[in-house]
Structure 1
Amino acid sequence: MQIALAPMEGLVDDILRDVLTRAGGIDWCVTEFIRVCDRLLPASHFHKLAPELRHGARTPAGTPMRVQLLGSDPACLADNAAFACELGAPAIDLNFGCPAKTVNKSRGGAVLLKEPELLHAILCEVRRAVPPSIPVTAKMRLGFDSPDGALDCARALAEGGAGQLVVHARTKVEGYRPPAHWEWVARVQDVVKVPVFANGEIWSLEDYLRCRAVSGVEHVMLGRGLVSRPDLALQIAAWRDGGACAALDWTALQPLLRDFWRQARRKLAPRYAPGRFKQWLGMLTRGYPEAVALFAEIRRDSDCQRFDAWLEFAPGEALDVA
C-alpha cells in the first residue's frame, strides 16, 4: 500500500511539498504540472516548478518526487520527458485529469479523455523515450462529461505503458463536487493489470477506509484532504502499519505554519507571500477552529510584518538565512 501527495497546480508547490512531507506518512509526491506545447523546455523551466531536481528529486524530508507533464503532442511530450529524466526525474507522470477551462481549451488535461487513441499514442511515445528503469505513470478522471469511456481510457493508458494509474473518481464536468464515485475505481482496476490509486473526497481515515471498501484498491493519492489535515497521511500510514497516532493539534501544527511562512517570505515578493499563506490557512479552516479565527483576523491584511507578528517572529527573523 502506498500513499501519495497529489499534484495541485497553484497550491502544492515545493514549499508545501516540503512542509507536508515533513509531517509524515507520504511515500511519494508529484510536481505541479509542467505544460508542454511545441518545444523542448529549458532546464530553468523544470527547476522553477521542480527545484527538488537539484537535490536528488527528493523533498528535504527525503520523499521522492515525480515530475508531471501536461500536453497533447506525443513527440513533444516524449522529448521533454526524456530531458526531465536527464535532469534527475525518477519517474514521469502524465496529467489527463486537470479540469481547468484554460487548460482544456488548449487541449490539455481532462479534455484528452475524449480521445483514448491519443492517450495511447502519448503513453507509447513517452514510454519509448524514457529509460526503461524510470517509471511512467498517469493521472486521469472518469471522463469529460460522462464516465462511459473511463474503462477505454484506462486500458489505453495501461496498454500504452503506464505503470500505475491514479483515478480521480469524478468527471471533468463534476469538478470537485462530492461525491467521488469510488465504485468506478474498482471497475478501472478490473480492466487493467497495473496498480490503481484512488483519489477524491478522502478527508479522514474513515473516508479512506470507506474508499478502500468500495473501490477495492489500497493505494491512495491525497489532495485537498491532506492539505486541510497535514497528519492525514500519517493517520492512514499508522493504520496500515497496524497502529495509530495522535492527531496533529493546532499547537503541534505551529512549527509547520511558521516554516511555511518563513519559506514563503524568502521565495516570494512581499505582495505575494501573504496570499500564499492565506491560501493554505483557508484550507486548514476545514479541520481547525483556530484556523478559522486566524483567517478571519488576517484575511484582509497583506502586511508581511504583521504576519511575522501573528506567527511570533521577531522583526526580520523570518527573512534570516537559516
Structure 2
Amino acid sequence: MRIILAPMEGVVDYTMRELLTAVGGIDQCVTEFIRVSDRLLPPAVFRRLAPELGQQGITQAGTVVLLQLLGSDPQVVAENAARAVELGAPGIDLNFGCPAKTVNKSRGGAILLDEPELVGDIVAAVRRSVPSEIPVSAKMRLGYRDKSRALENAHAIESAGAQSLAVHARTKEEGYKPPAHWEWIARIREAVSVPVVANGEVWTPGDFERCRVISGCDDIMIGRGLVANPFLALAIKGQPLSMDDAWGAALVLLERFHRQVMENLSVRHVHGRLKQWVQMLGWHFPQARNLFVSLRTERDPERLLTLLAEAHKRHVAVYGESSLFKERFEARIA
C-alpha cells in the first residue's frame, strides 16, 4: 500500500512537498504540471518548479518526486521528458486530467480524453524518449464530458507503455463535486494489467478504507485531503494524532511554511499563500477558521508571522506542546 501526494497547481509546490513529506506517511509525490507546447524548455523552468531535481529527485525527507508534464504534441512532450530525466527526474508523469478551462482551451489536460489515440501517442513518445529504467506514469480523469471513453483511454495509456495509471474518479464536467465514482476505478483496474492508483474524495482514514474496498486499488493518491490535514497519511497508517495535538503541530507547520514563502516570493504575494493554506486547513480543523479571521485583513508578512506565533503560544498555554509532535516531526521540519 502506498500513499501518493497528488499534484495540485498553485498549492502543492516544492515548499508544501517538503513539509508534508517531513511529517511522514507519504510514499511518493508528483510535481505541479510543467506546461509544454511548441518547444524544448530551458533547464531553469524545470528547476524552478521541481527543485528536487537538485536533490537526486527526492524531498529532504527522502520521498521520491515524479515530474509531471502537460502537453498535446507527442514529440515536444517527449523531448521535454528526456530533458527532465537528464536533469535528474526519477520518473515522468503525464497529465490527462487537469480540468482548468485555460488549460483545456489550449488543448491540454482533460480535453485530451476525447482523443484516446492522441493520449496513447503522447505516452508512447515519452516512453521511447527516456531510458527503460525510468518509470512513465499517467494521470487521467474518467472523461471530459462523460465516461464513455474511460476504458478506451486507460487501454491506450497501458498499450503505449505506461508503468502505472492514476485515475481521478470524476469527469472534467463533474469537477471536484462529490461523489467520486470509485466503482469506475474498479472497472478500469479490472480492464488493464498495469497498477492503478485511486484518486478522489479521500479525507479520512474511513474514506481511504472505503476507496480501497470499492476500487480494489492498493495505492491511493490524495491531494486536498492531505493539504487540509497534513497528518492524514500517518493516521491512515495507524499513527493518529488527537485533534488538539494535530492543530498544535499544524501551527508549527504554518510558521515554517510562511518563513519559506517569505524567502521565495515577493512581499505582495506572501500573504496570499499563507491564507490559502489556512483556508484549506479549515476544511478539517475548526481552529483554522478562527485563525483565518485574525489573518484575513493583514498583508504584512512580518505581522502575519507574529500572529501565527501568538496563536501557537495560546494553544500551548491551554493544551501544552504535543510530545508526539516533538518526537516525530520537530527535527524533520526545522
Once the two structures are TM-superposed, the CA of residue 102 in structure 1 deviates from its matched residue by 0.2
Of 288-297 and 85-94, the range deviating more from structure 2 = 288-297
Letter in 2 for 1:96: F
Once the two structures are TM-superposed, the CA of residue 301 in structure 1 deviates from its matched residue by 1.8
**Which of 263, 266, 274 is residue 277 of structure 1 equivalent to?**
274
The aligned counterpart of 1:190 is 190
| Counterpart-to-counterpart distance in 2, 1:304 and 1:129 | 44
SS of 1:220 mapped into structure 2: strand
| Counterpart-to-counterpart distance in 2, 1:220 and 1:282 | 24
Identity %: 56
TM-score, reference length from structure 2: 0.91
Is 1:286 the counterpart of 2:268 in the alignment?
no
SS of 1:281 mapped into structure 2: helix
The aligned counterpart of 2:240 is 245
The aligned counterpart of 2:296 is 299
Of 184-193 and 254-263, the range deviating more from structure 2 = 254-263
Once the two structures are TM-superposed, the CA of residue 55 in structure 1 deviates from its matched residue by 1.0
What pairs with 1:126-275 in structure 2 (closer than 5 Å)? 126-238=126-238, 244-247=239-242, 249-275=246-272
The aligned counterpart of 1:110 is 110
Letter in 1 for 2:247: W
| Counterpart-to-counterpart distance in 2, 1:175 and 1:50 | 26
Deviations 1:13-50 (A, max 9, x none): 00111111111100010110000001000000000100
8 A Cα contact 2:231 2:241, kept in partner:
no
| Counterpart-to-counterpart distance in 2, 1:192 and 1:288 | 39
Once the two structures are TM-superposed, the CA of residue 60 in structure 1 deviates from its matched residue by 1.4
8 A Cα contact 2:165 2:194, kept in partner:
yes
Letter in 2 for 1:5: L
| Counterpart-to-counterpart distance in 2, 1:2 and 1:305 | 38
| Counterpart-to-counterpart distance in 2, 1:186 and 1:299 | 42
Is 1:309 the counterpart of 2:306 in the alignment?
yes
The aligned counterpart of 1:316 is none
| Counterpart-to-counterpart distance in 1, 2:118 and 2:235 | 39
Letter in 1 for 2:174: E
Q: What runs of 5+ residues in structure 2 fail to find an aligned partner? A: 311-333
| Counterpart-to-counterpart distance in 2, 1:307 and 1:152 | 50
Letter in 2 for 1:45: V
| Counterpart-to-counterpart distance in 1, 2:39 and 2:236 | 41
SS of 1:272 mapped into structure 2: helix
8 A Cα contact 2:57 2:88, kept in partner:
yes
The aligned counterpart of 1:99 is 99
SS of 2:95 mapped into structure 1: strand
Letter in 2 for 1:271: R
| Counterpart-to-counterpart distance in 2, 1:14 and 1:252 | 20
Once the two structures are TM-superposed, the CA of residue 190 in structure 1 deviates from its matched residue by 0.7
Calculate the aligned-residue CA RMSD, in Å: 1.1
Of 99-108 and 299-308, the range deviating more from structure 2 = 299-308
Letter in 2 for 1:296: V
